[in-house]
Structure 1
């Protein structure tokens, strides 16, 4: 009887090195003349197959375009090295201008913020890990690259009561577009919805009797269905806007429409807020500030952090904590209201 051959480990199967704990495919897909731009298409195709949203795909293209601009269109995937990436980071820190190429928004100051650079590096890290694990790269050049350190963590500040009043008082309710915008601002302040969730709202998502908004998984950022509480007054205002829009545009399901009878886009509302901030003398004004304002005021009014996490649809409570930025006035007010020593002083 001939001795049988026992096979334990597959021949030619490379063990993972830098990316431990993740099984790596053999290098059957490796092509030494593959450009980064070609590898990008492979990555995007895989992400689309996983159900990745087109907006996220657009961000992949945008983020990788920066390093392609820096290194050149003909840069090969195999030629991408850690030293090249570090040189690219140095360029972003000291030379690259914010919004470069956009004549309307470009700034003269050189150097991008660490936060902006790290967003691009995370995208590149995700792509390199994919290319390496799938066998398109022999080595992962991002495995030893660390994110840029910063002593200052950019925070999105909520709006003060005075700023909120300035925004709301500016709108002329005789104008359809301004009444619609005002209703949208009220909705954001009342629910903390993301702007895309808000502008996508349909009449079928409003549970009138329960005062709830149903956010389906295909709209939510974290792909999780959730119910969001909404004040009765805001429900009434949403229904009024919907009924008036139907009189103008016929049978529609969206709550927020533009003046031409088309669904209002998030970017359109962002641009309208940008124009509004100049008219009322504010430095910044964008939809996410209303979400932060809701989060801060929700807690100041007695709400708890864990319920807030559910409402905001945060997977990690650490993210929720970052949303809550208290200024000195808020801290003093809360201390005055809740300090335990006051009950002892009153007894004297």
Structure 2
């Protein structure tokens, strides 16, 4: 190198010459990588769907958009705005009339899309397919804390009264609802439950890594009452169907998450619960709240039983109502404790 000359330094601002990659090719690259990382099939399906929604919107709105290298943070922010304020819920769904649905997706749904797209572009950047990284400064939207994301004990009692246990479907649904409240299982874990995953001697449910959200082996304790219900349901299944699935339709097919969520909503409406969101996930919130707030089980034990990877997620789910706060205050007030001790001395 000649004296007095300086070597050009590479910085993050330096534009690298990279080959143009189509969206289809980029998606194939990311999906192949995620499969190699061991992501569950359900997660892979969700990845494909969310990325497809984004690329379809992008190519429709920007006709000259052809390569993933051309995506900027401005495009991503415009898409987030579209999801929040323009996209109709259930748009493109084959079984739901989207024209009757409200406009604007929930904050939770939008954040799921942001997380997926962030992982998508981070992978392409880390593997050297794009530069710069368009999601480097992309942030999640702020979510309001939902104080009604669980049921009260009175609502749970009313719901449990609704299934007609004298017929197969009603009894199956009663067992499913009981198991959700007894174990905190995710809906996918429940509808996919098989006979060999139940240890009746413990009693407990044993889920392998391929069956849980974080691919962690998990043991889920259940009550003897719930174990008895599961035994009865399995006997009923075997009397009519050749299946190892625990929760099946009247034709013997494994239940889908969508079908079971519809059943949960049906029973909640019959119980007079019409203003709250009703899904299996709300039952999971309810289970966690009762375990921690009512039963005083420590949050780390509940985290392990429920399979939460991040305890902050669990804390967000367990919101205290005004009634909970009042009861906790009355039970723990230092002033009232001192007054009570003085009364006892008198």
Does the pair score TM above 0.5? yes
Contact 1:194 1:288 in 2 (8 A): yes
1:62-81 paired onto structure 2 within 5 Å: 62-72=49-59, 75-81=66-72
Change (3 A) 1:48 1:149: same
Contact 2:40 2:210 in 1 (8 A): no
* Count of equivalent residues: 324
Residue 227 of structure 1 deviates from its aligned partner by 1.4
Contact 2:40 2:215 in 1 (8 A): no
Change (3 A) 1:298 1:172: same
Change (3 A) 1:36 1:89: same
1:188-199 paired onto structure 2 within 5 Å: 188-199=180-191
Q: Partners in 2 of 1:90 and 1:212 — Cα distance?
A: 45
RMSD (Å) for aligned C-alpha atoms: 2.5
Q: Partners in 1 of 2:10 and 2:260 — Cα distance?
A: 50
Change (3 A) 1:110 1:196: closer
> Which 5+ residue runs of structure 1 have no aligned equivalent?
1-13, 19-25
Residue 181 of structure 1 deviates from its aligned partner by 0.7
Residue 156 of structure 1 deviates from its aligned partner by 6.4
Contact 1:205 1:214 in 2 (8 A): yes
Change (3 A) 1:108 1:158: closer
Change (3 A) 1:272 1:69: same
User: 1:296 matched to which residue of 2?
Assistant: 289
Residue 170 of structure 1 deviates from its aligned partner by 0.9
Residue 131 of structure 1 deviates from its aligned partner by 1.3
User: 1:9 matched to which residue of 2?
Assistant: none
User: 1:269 matched to which residue of 2?
Assistant: 260
Residue 147 of structure 1 deviates from its aligned partner by 2.8
User: 2:90 matched to which residue of 1?
Assistant: 99
Q: For residue 213 of structure 2, give the secondary structure of its aligned residue in structure 1.
A: coil
Q: Deviations over 1:317-348 (max 9, x none)?
A: 21221121221222223333343443422323
Contact 2:151 2:286 in 1 (8 A): yes
Q: For residue 334 of structure 1, give the secondary structure of its aligned residue in structure 2.
A: helix
The match for 2:38 among 51, 56, 73 is 51
Q: Partners in 2 of 1:82 and 1:325 — Cα distance?
A: 34
Q: For residue 135 of structure 2, give the secondary structure of its aligned residue in structure 1.
A: coil
The match for 2:233 among 222, 241, 245 is 241
The match for 1:255 among 246, 252, 259 is 246
Q: Partners in 2 of 1:173 and 1:111 — Cα distance?
A: 39
Determine whether 1:157 maps to 2:155: no
